[in-house]
Amino acid sequence: MASIDRISLLELLRKSGNEGDIDFLREAMQVLVQSLMEAEVAADIGAERYERNAERVNQRNGYRERRWDTRVGTLDLKIPKLRKGSYFPSLLEPRKRAEKALLSVVQEAYVHGVSTRKVDDLVEALGMKGISKSEVSRICKELDETVLAFKNRYLEGEYPYVWFDATFPKVREGGRVCGMALVVAIGIRETGEREVLGFDLGMSEDGAFWTAFLRQLVSRGLRGVKLAISDAHEGLRKSIAEVLAGASWQRCRVHFMRNILSQVPKSSQAMVSSIVRTIFAQPNQSAAKEQLRLVVQQLERKFPKAMDILEQAETDVLAYMAFPAEHWRQIHSTNPLERLNREIRRRSDVVGIFPNRESAIRLLGAILMEQQDEWMVSRRYFSLESMAKVTGKDANLLSAQSLLQK
């Protein structure tokens, strides 16, 4: 541990002789954790601080501050930043924030008198019996501030691709339990990274709520949208056309196929599905449109309602083919966002019924923040070269922008 500051160690050793100093363990832990991070970064980049080394593969670029709650108290850490890529300490738990939020929801359920055997079992498993109301309030306030800061942050840069979808957690409000609409938007930066753009919770997934949500995104900086992907919710579709003027709309291909097959007898569904999928196997948009018309001619006499749906959706279900072919698999449906929604449902099912709207936003927002953290340290969703085809910008310029954003 040559990197530990000797002066800091000596000061801590002097404090250790003072039995009344309850901060000793916390300060010792902070020095140790900081030293471990410095050692981990040095190993990653191949050089210590200020060391000139032929094996160096990266450089430091300052620090970002982060609070870490531990059993010995809150540590104020300085996490090293890198010029290329990003660094996240392996000793920190990436999912700590959401688990803390989950705990606060469970505790708040006790406070509001809505405990169940399921909640009792969970609390006992976490070893968190006997938490005071003041401690619940403190944890909730801290999380609320963090989640709201994330929810209302300004969006930098352009987002050529944006996905929209909703899921429906159960929330207690006004003395009754109702399924509220959690609307979520994720996007792809012009530099190819994924990002959670925003979320909100409302009483219903109507057009007015979607319009307000999209306008909020625009007011926070959302711009440069070239393709919006969603299911065929009429209110959402109209909101996209109104608020994101100039953007194409891609109707989710997965939902679209379900709509078509719902008008076909079960015995014929496999056959119809195979024929319709030949449309999406075409090499370009013009060929796909030509194939769509052939499919309609072939099947309209036997399945008129299904073929009417197919014919009416020609422009919307093939919109993705106007973009680079290397993006087609991800942008033809809402699957990227569906996977995130499944994780939201899995984690929120532990709670069952949220005691109020604030607790729902707290936990669901923390889950989305976790996902954002994981995307920030993962590889690009789309390459810079392929994004250059969408934006018309040089790949080297996009690379420089990506470094500035980090």
Please report which confidence band the pLDDT of residue 1 belongs to, taking 50, 70 and 90 as the band edges. Answer: very low
Range 199-215 average pLDDT: 92
Cβ neighbours around 16 below 10 Å, total: 13
Range 1-19 average pLDDT: 53
- What pLDDT is stored for residue 230 in this prediction? 94
Sequence-distant (6+) residues with CB within 8 A of 232 are 251, 252, 255, 256, 259, 316
Place of tokens 């909730």: 140
Amino acid at 284: N
Give the tens place of pLDDT for each residue, 149-170: 999 999 988 999 999 999 999 9
- What pLDDT is stored for residue 123 in this prediction? 54
Give the tens place of pLDDT for each residue, 50-80: 777 777 788 888 888 887 766 666 778 888 8
Inform me whether the pLDDT recorded for 17 exceeds 80.
no
Integer angstrom CA distances of residue 73 from 22, 24, 25, 237, 268 = 10, 11, 9, 49, 64
Cβ neighbours around 164 below 10 Å, total: 28
Range 26-54 average pLDDT: 80
Give the tens place of pLDDT for each residue, 96-125: 665 566 566 665 564 454 544 555 555 555
Question: Which stretches of 244-334 are DSSP H helices?
Answer: 253-261, 266-280, 285-299, 304-312, 314-317, 328-331
Give the tens place of pLDDT for each residue, 270-290: 999 999 999 999 999 999 999
- What pLDDT is stored for residue 35 in this prediction? 82
Cα angle: 344, vertex 141, 373; to 5 degrees: 40
Range 362-372 average pLDDT: 87
- What pLDDT is stored for residue 3 in this prediction? 44
- pTM of this prediction? 0.71
Q: What are phi and psi of 128, to 5 degrees?
A: -120, 40
- What pLDDT is stored for residue 2 in this prediction? 46
Please report which confidence band the pLDDT of residue 20 belongs to, taking 50, 70 and 90 as the band edges. Answer: very low
- What pLDDT is stored for residue 305 in this prediction? 95
Could you tell me if 131 and 380 are in contact, meaning their C-beta atoms sit under 8 angstroms apart? no
Range 71-99 average pLDDT: 73
Provide, rounded to the nearest whole percent, the portion of the chain with pLDDT above 70.
Answer: 78
* CA nearest to 36, candidates 79, 6, 76: 79
* Sequence-separated contacts (24+) of 384-389 with Cβ below 8 Å: 384/191, 384/192, 386/192, 386/324, 386/326, 386/327, 387/160, 387/188, 387/190, 387/191, 387/192, 389/324
Could you tell me if 149 and 365 are in contact, meaning their C-beta atoms sit under 8 angstroms apart? no
More confident residue, 215 or 398: 215
Give the helix/strand (H/E) hosting 125. helix 117-126
Could you tell me if 104 and 360 are in contact, meaning their C-beta atoms sit under 8 angstroms apart? no
- What pLDDT is stored for residue 391 in this prediction? 86
Please report which confidence band the pLDDT of residue 185 belongs to, taking 50, 70 and 90 as the band edges. Answer: very high
